[in-house]
Amino acid sequence: MTARSVKSAASAPVERSALALFSSIAEAEGPLELAQQVTRALPAACAVSDVSLWWSLNWPGDRQGAPQRTLSAARLALLERCHGSPSGLEIAGEVYCYRLYVSSDGPAAFLLCRAQSPESAPHQLPYWQVLLAALARRWNDLLELRRQDETVARMEHSERLQRALFDIADMAGSDLDMGDMLRQVHRIVGGLMYAENFFIALYDKSRDAIRFVYYVDAEDPEAVDSQHWTPLADFERALTWYLIRDGRPLRGATHELRRQISGPLRLVGVDSPDWMGVPMLSGSEIRGVIVVQNYHQANCFSEADQNLLSFVASHILTALERKKGQEELEQRVQERTRELAVEVEERQRGEKLQRSLFHIAELASGEGSVESFYQQLHRVIDRLITAPNFYVALLSDDSEQIEFPYYADESGRSPGVRAKGCGLTEYLMDQARPLLLSARDVSGLQERGDIKRSGTPSESWMGVPLKTGTRVWGAIVAQSYNEQVRYGARELELLTFVSRQVGYTVERRRAAEELRVAHAELERRVEERTRELREQIAVREKIEERLKHEVMHDSLTGLPNRAYLRDRLERVLALRRRGHRPDFAVLYADVDRFKVINDSLGHLAGDEVLKEVARRFASCVREPDVVARLGGDEFAILLEDIPGMEIPVRVAQRILNVMSEPMFVLGKEISTSSSVGVAMGDRRYRHADDVLRDADIAMYRAKRAGRQRFEIFDAATNQHAIQVLDMEADIRHGIADRRFHPWFQPIVRMVDRGLVGYEALMRWNHETRGWLAPAAFLDVAEENGSIEAIDWQVWESACRQVQRLPDALYVTINVSARYFRKDDFDQRLLSMIRGTGIAPSRIRIEITEGALMHNPESVITMLARLRAESVQAAVDDFGTGYSSLSYVHRFPLRSLKIDRSFVSELGQQGDAGSRAVIRSILTLAHSLGLEAVAEGVETELQAEALIAMGCGLGQGYLFAKPAPLAE
């Protein structure tokens, strides 16, 4: 046999197998059956082994294979390469991968097999391409059928889902109650998946509680309370608790659920093989859960079921909320309908009552008789509460009698007027509140003795007192003798309400009658009083005219006063602002040395001088001009309609001339003079006080320039004067507000820097400028005399702050020479020290050499008295004055303070002179047993030099700057 015949004989079975494969391909009815047929027949048909088929409708997802179920990583990589291969063939050693089918919309199929050599590979066979094409066509047909089946299934599922969602939405708007609706929801969910055991629980975050609004469970029908809200904490660690807390779906058997939750699991109720629950979400907020469970079969619920239930849950929540809102709306509508019915009834009742009140109000202004008024009042009340038996009772002013102006009663006649007794009417007035009484109530009152029996007993009796405030002055009463007519709380309420209008109306008619009677008397009295008032008005006008003159004029001189002048000056300024520009000037004058005259000759003489000055000033001006006395010896003159400065200068000169002539007062000749300040009218002036101020400033400039002269105000040169005036005002306010305080600079032992005392230095805590040193205000304070008030304020504050220092320390205060001219200075100082509660020995005074030598004997005496009380003295700035070394031993001193001018030169070139002076002072101090304190020590070199010369104590910036005492 030839080789060709051998090969032909060998291929015959293969070809028959191939024909069988073709037949099985055509008969396969699904992808899995086709794969099984190919993997069985292909090894024989193509002489290959290890055959497997792999496919997917959405490659590479949802991959399936036959006969294997899993792929190695290498074979999976081979499949991926083949999926994108242009030839549809990929080879890895002996393993061949053929792409059977691929589509752009996802489906793909591959054939894997093993061949012993490239020559024996399937694609070498002559019919391989035909076989491969047949496989591809059949695969395409089967996949197309599968896709169609799945599409139909999806459409059917979608239709069922849409129908379910529509039914759920439709039920939310139906007339089903909540329970029926939830049963229908259960039926709908059961049509989508297994849901025999099903419950819905709502979650309220504000309460942190759940309520099982629907619960059906075949194995555990009463596991929960479906009627009330239950705290979520009661289900802690249960599956429902995890659903709400984590907000994630849970599905599976108990052992699978334990892996899905974030903590230990607590089983509630009967355990089930398969359990599935999803949260109901509104946005990101959890509003409840839906749960289904199967007690008979595991793995009943799929991921698709879970997704479906989650989707349906949102629609169920919407339906529940709509139904709940609908029921709440219906409930509110019912409640509102009931409220409106009550409101309508009340409104009708109110309208009827309003008409009755309006009618009663009309009766108040009626012109009919009293009897007619009460009859109409009875008809109005009878329409309201059915009151055929009705009466009105009025109490007399003395509360002794009761009058019945109206009495309608079927059982008897009106009692008219009777003395106050013990009847029901009197009982009502005494109680001062509305009463509703039955026949039994009346009998009880009689048995207790509260009332006495009178008249026919009534079946029902009610009355309301008429009163003003707490005073009862009458009553209205309705009563029934018929058992069919009984009054209740509603009738009493109506009668009480009406009683207010009745009381007002009755009082108004009574008052109208009283008013008519009083009107005639009033007219008579008015006429009489009018005549008296005319007389009083005439007298008052005369008094007012006199008072007006007195208010605007000075009582001593008869001249206009400051108020008159300011009013006149304001009118002049107003005319200038309106465009009328009359020039004017103000002269400010006073009497030189008037205080001397007043003090020496007495106030009577001073008054006569002022009268004569007023006469002389008035003689210097024209008729329209105004001469006013401002107070004391100060006068002002307003000159109007002047052409320029010539007239004010001329008038000022006249004043100087007439004031230079002697006066004869009380038999004595008096020589005096006047200083005059002139302020010319200027557009910068807005107020009268501004003009007077500038004229006053000019007058004081005239005084400072020598008196008996006049000065014209100059704004350019007056700024300093204004600043001085402002400073004086600030100083006055600072004294009043106690804003002057001591700052303390330490006095130390220079060797070890130990503290021995402080010097109290004056500082001003200005309201706007902050802390000021004396250089900023001392000149002004001394000039205006306020320095003493400042000194005493600072000294007192220093003494009070000494209490906060250790007992061994002292404080020195600076005392100027002026105080040693006052005989009582030492006593006043000691009194102040004792008043602050400190020992006098803790205060020392510092005086200058000039103060020592002003009146040595007087100073020695005063220092000795102070020393006797333990108040020591020191000489400040020693070495610069004229007492020098020769007089100091005469004074009772404790220490000498070396002037800073000598200390500042130490350590500099040419300091020999200062060193000599310091040594002399130290020698004098040591010889007299006095302490020596160096002032102004600012460097270590100065301190060392002073210590070397024998000076133990020092004070200066080297040790500390002055500062407030630390708290």
CA distance readout (Å), 937 to 810, 898, 911, 949: 20, 10, 15, 14
- Which candidate, 962, 621, 580, places its Cα nearest to that of 762? 962
- List pLDDT tens digits, range 351-387: 766 776 677 666 656 666 777 878 888 888 888 788 8
Report angle CA 149, 152, 157 to the nearest 5 degrees: 125
Lowest mean pLDDT among 191-200, 320-329, 355-364, 890-899: 355-364
pLDDT at 17: 66
In a domain, 889, yes or no: yes
Domain count, the chain: 5
CATH, residue 182? 3.30.450.40
* Domain end call among 331, 353, 386: 331
Q: Judge contact between 292 and 309, C-beta under 8 A.
A: yes
pLDDT at 718: 66
Domain holding 849, by residue range, is 732-955
**The pLDDT of residue 3 is above 50:** no
pLDDT at 956: 96
- List pLDDT tens digits, range 532-583: 888 888 888 888 787 777 788 888 999 999 999 999 999 988 887 877 666 8
In a domain, 164, yes or no: no
Is the domain of 568 the same as that of 623? yes
Is the domain of 179 the same as that of 88? no
The owner of tokens 């500099």 is: 908
Sign of the torsion angle spanned by Cα atoms 618, 619, 620, 626: positive
pLDDT at 161: 66
CA 464 to chain centre: 51
Is the domain of 113 the same as that of 182? no
pLDDT at 1: 34
pLDDT at 189: 83
Report the C-alpha gap between 233 and 209 in whole angstroms: 8
pLDDT at 308: 81
In a domain, 228, yes or no: yes
- List pLDDT tens digits, range 156-195: 666 666 776 666 666 666 667 777 778 888 887 878 788 8
Is the domain of 775 the same as that of 669? no
Q: How far apart are the two ends of the chain, measured CA to CA in Å?
A: 133
**Residue 536 host element (H or E):** helix 489-552
Lowest mean pLDDT among 37-46, 50-59, 166-175, 935-944: 166-175
pLDDT at 904: 92
- List pLDDT tens digits, range 440-495: 888 888 888 888 877 788 889 999 999 888 888 899 899 988 888 888 888 888 88
In a domain, 527, yes or no: no
DSSP code of residue 890: G
β 843-848/668-670 pair status = unpaired
Is the domain of 637 the same as that of 680? yes
CA 15 to chain centre: 100
pLDDT at 581: 64
Mean pLDDT calculated for residue range 707-728: 79
Report angle CA 473, 477, 483 to the nearest 5 degrees: 160
Is the domain of 84 the same as that of 118? yes
**Sequence letter at residue 213:** V
CA distance readout (Å), 761 to 162, 310, 780, 898: 98, 88, 18, 17
pLDDT at 363: 64
**The pLDDT of residue 818 is above 90:** no
Is the domain of 802 the same as that of 886? yes
**Sequence letter at residue 581:** R
In a domain, 222, yes or no: yes
Q: What is the dihedral of CA 750, 752, 758, 764, to 10 degrees?
A: 80
Is the domain of 739 the same as that of 861? yes
Report the C-alpha gap between 591 and 391 in whole angstroms: 91
Highest mean pLDDT among 693-702, 783-792, 830-839: 830-839
Mean pLDDT calculated for residue range 806-810: 94
Mean pLDDT calculated for residue range 215-240: 84
- List pLDDT tens digits, range 902-943: 999 998 888 888 999 999 999 999 999 999 999 999 999 999
pLDDT at 743: 97
Lowest mean pLDDT among 81-85, 154-158, 211-215, 585-589: 154-158
Is the domain of 557 the same as that of 698? yes
The owner of tokens 């008579």 is: 524
Count of Cβ atoms closer than 10 Å to residue 620 Cβ = 21
3-state secondary structure of 15: helix
CATH, residue 817? 3.20.20.450
Give 861 or 666, the one with higher predicted confidence.
Answer: 861
The mean pLDDT value of the chain amounts to: 85
Q: Judge contact between 261 and 242, C-beta under 8 A.
A: yes
Report the C-alpha gap between 738 and 751 in whole angstroms: 38
Lowest mean pLDDT among 155-164, 506-515, 531-540, 866-875: 155-164
Report the C-alpha gap between 186 and 175 in whole angstroms: 18
Lowest mean pLDDT among 723-732, 772-781, 848-857: 848-857
Q: Judge contact between 659 and 673, C-beta under 8 A.
A: yes
In a domain, 536, yes or no: no
Mean pLDDT calculated for residue range 500-509: 76
CA 488 to chain centre: 53
**The pLDDT of residue 107 is above 50:** yes
- Report the half-sphere exposure of 892 (CA within 13 A, side-chain side): 17
Q: Judge contact between 897 and 880, C-beta under 8 A.
A: no
In a domain, 443, yes or no: yes
Mean pLDDT calculated for residue range 74-95: 89
| The total number of residues written for the chain in this structure | 967
Provide, rounded to the nearest whole percent, the portion of the chain with pLDDT above 90: 31
Is the domain of 674 the same as that of 787? no
CA 487 to chain centre: 56
**The pLDDT of residue 4 is above 50:** no
